[in-house]
Amino acid sequence: MYLIIMKSAVLFISSILVILAALGILRFRDNVERVLYARIHILGIADVACILALLALGEPLLAATYFILAPFVSHAIANAHHYGEGD
């Protein structure tokens, strides 16, 4: 009983974090100089929420893999944007 309540609470908190991250992404305008880096930072909140949700659903190996790979993917996207833009 308590385990189900704890899992539900973690999933609820994770969903709130994902909604806040989506609002943060929509809040930034495209004319800001470093908007991509700010958006990647906001998506870090969604990454944490997804990791919490995976842990609540009983998938610790998948959560650990996501925890390790998410920063590498964010860095690769920012690096590709930086070198692809040429500014």
Q: Where are the domains of the chain?
A: 2-85
Categorise residue 86: left if φ over 0, alpha if ψ from -120 to 50, beta otherwise. left
Q: Are 10 and 56 in contact (CB under 8 A)?
A: yes
* Among 69, 71, 62, 64, CA closest to 43: 71
CB-based burial of residue 21 (10 Å sphere; 0-12 exposed, 13-18 middle, 19+ buried)?
buried
Give the largest CA-CA distance in the chain.
56
Token pair of 8, please? 């539900």
Which residue matches tokens 């880096």? 37
Q: What is the pLDDT along the chain (87 residues), one digit of tens a residue?
A: 888 898 888 888 888 888 887 887 777 777 767 777 777 877 887 888 888 888 888 889 999 998 998 888 888 888 887 788 645
